[in-house]
Structure 1
Amino acid sequence: MRIAFHTPLNLFDDGGVSGDRRMARQLVAALETLGHVVEPVRAARGYLPSADPACLDQHRADAARLSDQLLASYRSGAPRPDLWFTYHNYYRAPDLLGPAIAAALGIPYVTAEASDSERRAFDEWSAQTAIVRHSLTAADVHFHFTDRDRQGLEPWRQPGTALLELPPFITFEKEPPQREDHAGPPRLITIAMMREGTKQNSYLALARILARIPDAGWRLSIVGDGRRRGEIERAFACLPQEQIDWLGLIPRERALDELARHDIFVWPGVREAYGLVYLEAQAVGLPVVAFDSGGVSATVMAGETALLAPEGDEAAFAGNLVTLLQDQARRERMGAEARRFVLKERTSAGAATRLAEGLDFACRHRRDKLRAAGSAAS
């Protein structure tokens, strides 16, 4: 099939660095392994920086013009898509193109990582949330990465719409390195951009957690950079500075090598969507310590490859970390299982199989809907 691939939040091939762009690239690659031709929809970035109605009006006007242009080009003989696939549709980046174009062409409409927000339906974001909800009812298949997203989609499940789990997966160009043995105290590592919001909140939580156990025999490497580096460095200033290494922003391949020189991956993940970095850390053989927050649990095997504390329970997080710091044998068992889990169960090949199943559902559902609409009209 020819698939129109739309990413309202960010153009996945614009050179930016983010988890959503990376997942979008992985989805495209998985779809291409199935033999499909995937064409990115060249739309302006659809992220809404504020709930200002004028901002939404401008985005809707731009989307209407682009929709008219695309439909006109298809009618004039340009290769038309057989299916529309939208990735990451939510209230700050609603899909303003897919439902209308799919309906006009009579083709299946599929989403991945779409989400609804009940809270936003009753505040200044209500208009944007209504647009998202319209697209949720229009879809033939929703792929959800986490159970939290599934729960949000359930109220909008319509006859002829499937909700299919697509567990977070990760692609490596070559087999990732394995964790290396080393002398000295256990080494902790965290990797995250230093930006406002959930990332900064997780960094601040990690600083408070480590302040509870300064003498537990750890050394921490921090990989990342960004606008909030100054505030984050100040949060860690109360800790023994000889136990902290600030490594800055490094390329992905070097980051994998750096992970392999450590023993435990620590990242609170406060309200994390899911976090591909958890999969990377496990792939090289590191156990994870995190909060059971957001979609983190979708990326690990709790109790087997990760110790998860209740969200916000910093004492429990510190206790889990001390448990692994003091038990090398358990660290190594969990790390070995973590590597097996990611390299065997969270692969692009497995994701492609699930995608193939979902696209088949979508095509059948759309045919049934068109048939029913034709019968009603006649």
Structure 2
Amino acid sequence: MKIAFTAPMKPLDHPVPSGDRTMGRLIVKALELAGHEVTVASRFRSWRKDGSEDIQAGVHGQALEEADRIADDWQRTGYRPDLFLTYHLYHKAPDWIGPVLADRFDLPYAIVEASRAPKRRTGDWAYGFAAADAALARADAVAALHNADAECLGAVVPQDRLSVLLPFVDAAPFQDAGAVPKPLAAPPLKLLAVGMMREGDKTRSYEVLADALSRLRDLPWQLTIIGDGPNRDPVLARFPPERITWLGALEAQDLPTQYALHDLLVWPAIREAFGLVFLEAQASGIGVIAGDTFGVPDIVRNGETGLLSPEGDAEAFAANLKRVIADPALVDRLGQAARRHIADHHSLAAGSVRLDSFLRSALKNHSRRGKF
């Protein structure tokens, strides 16, 4: 199948690394693994930090110009995709390009990772909210990446066009690194946190983690932190310097080794959609101590591959940490189960199968449009 692809939230070649960019690249890789031919139709980015009708109307106009450019190019070259696929759609990043081209060329239109916040129906983001809803209405298939988003989308997307497509990871490099035998967990427990140090939810996650660890100063643990950003100094200042090692931001290829060197990933996941780090850590054979946030329970099995606590609850987070520090055998059980869990349910191959099925449902739904 020939697939035209766009990512209005963040293009695949955007210079700033993020989980969103990584997931977009993984989707393309999984589609190619399934035998599809993926062409990036546009690098246009509709996402804006600030919202207003004037701002988003201006972006809308630019997007329509881009759609015209793409249509002219397709007509000139004779290219015609079998389906148009948009990755990550919401009120800050509407898709005005995919629906236009889908209508103009009578194409199936599918969206992977859509979310919807009804409170944005009015206010500064109302224009973008309405545009995102219009794209959802046009879509032949819509996939949320976790159940919490699917519940919100269910108000506007019919159930026969809505599904949950659980996230996945290219597990091979993490599994290879985690396959190297290492001693059973022993004090001091080697903890790992991976997260950018920027304003907002990431910094809040570091704050909750620091609060939780401050309650466990008398217990044997060491924390490695991977990440950097404008809030680096205030973030690092929250942790006792003698108990942490800060590695800064690392290249993606250096992460598998770091996961495998540690006993547990610890991350409160404030407002986290799902967190690719949880997939990567589990693929490396280490368990997870995390916040029970949005899609996290969809990929971390509480009590089996990790321990989850209520979002933002430092005391409960600390209690889970205390439990594993007191029971190194539990750490090893979590890690072994985590490795199996990713291999069975969240590998690139598993994602490829789910994506292929999802797109074929879009084709089927599109074929029915003309019958009503």
Q: Could you state the TM-score of these two structures normalised by the residue count of structure 2?
A: 0.95
Q: SS of 1:235's equivalent?
A: coil
Instruction: Pick the aligned partner of 1:224 from 223, 227, 250.
Output: 227
Deviation at 1:183, TM superposition (A): 6.0
| Alpha-carbon distance between aligned partners in 1 of 2:280 and 2:169, rounded to the nearest angstrom | 8
In the alignment, residue 94 of structure 2 is paired with which amino acid?
A: P
Q: Which residue of 1 aligns with 2:200?
A: 197
Q: Which residue of 1 aligns with 2:245?
A: 245
Deviation at 1:259, TM superposition (A): 1.5
Matched, 1:180 2:218: no
| Alpha-carbon distance between aligned partners in 1 of 2:21 and 2:37, rounded to the nearest angstrom | 19
| Alpha-carbon distance between aligned partners in 1 of 2:242 and 2:137, rounded to the nearest angstrom | 55
Give the number of equivalent residue pairs: 368
Q: Is the 8 A contact 2:192 2:264 kept in 1?
A: yes
Deviation at 1:235, TM superposition (A): 2.3
In the alignment, residue 125 of structure 1 is paired with which amino acid?
A: W
Once the two structures are superposed, the pairs formed by residues 185-334 of structure 1 within 5 Å of their partners are: 185-236=188-239, 239=240, 241-334=241-334
Of residues 216-225 and 11-20 in structure 1, the stretch that sits farther from structure 2 once superposed is: 11-20
Q: SS of 2:246's equivalent?
A: strand
Once the two structures are superposed, the pairs formed by residues 37-186 of structure 1 within 5 Å of their partners are: 37-158=37-158, 161-174=160-173, 175-178=175-178, 180-181=182-183, 184-186=187-189
CA offsets per residue over residues 222-262 of structure 1, 9 Å max, x none? 111111101212222xx3x2111111112223221112111
In the alignment, residue 347 of structure 1 is paired with which amino acid?
A: S
Q: Is the 8 A contact 1:137 1:157 kept in 2?
A: yes
Deviation at 1:114, TM superposition (A): 0.6
Q: Which residue of 2 aligns with 1:360?
A: 360
| Alpha-carbon distance between aligned partners in 2 of 1:269 and 1:135, rounded to the nearest angstrom | 29
Q: Is the 8 A contact 2:141 2:362 kept in 1?
A: yes
Deviation at 1:295, TM superposition (A): 1.7
| Alpha-carbon distance between aligned partners in 1 of 2:293 and 2:158, rounded to the nearest angstrom | 29
Q: SS of 1:371's equivalent?
A: coil
In the alignment, residue 129 of structure 1 is paired with which amino acid?
A: F
| Alpha-carbon distance between aligned partners in 2 of 1:319 and 1:186, rounded to the nearest angstrom | 15
In the alignment, residue 280 of structure 2 is paired with which amino acid?
A: E
In the alignment, residue 168 of structure 1 is paired with which amino acid?
A: P
Q: Which residue of 2 aligns with 1:18?
A: 18
Structure 1's unaligned 5+ residue stretches are 373-378
Deviation at 1:350, TM superposition (A): 1.0
Q: Percent identity?
A: 36
| Alpha-carbon distance between aligned partners in 2 of 1:184 and 1:34, rounded to the nearest angstrom | 44
| Alpha-carbon distance between aligned partners in 1 of 2:14 and 2:154, rounded to the nearest angstrom | 33
Deviation at 1:117, TM superposition (A): 0.6
Deviation at 1:77, TM superposition (A): 4.1
Structure 2's unaligned 5+ residue stretches are none
Q: Is the 8 A contact 2:171 2:280 kept in 1?
A: no
In the alignment, residue 210 of structure 1 is paired with which amino acid?
A: L
| Alpha-carbon distance between aligned partners in 1 of 2:186 and 2:115, rounded to the nearest angstrom | 46
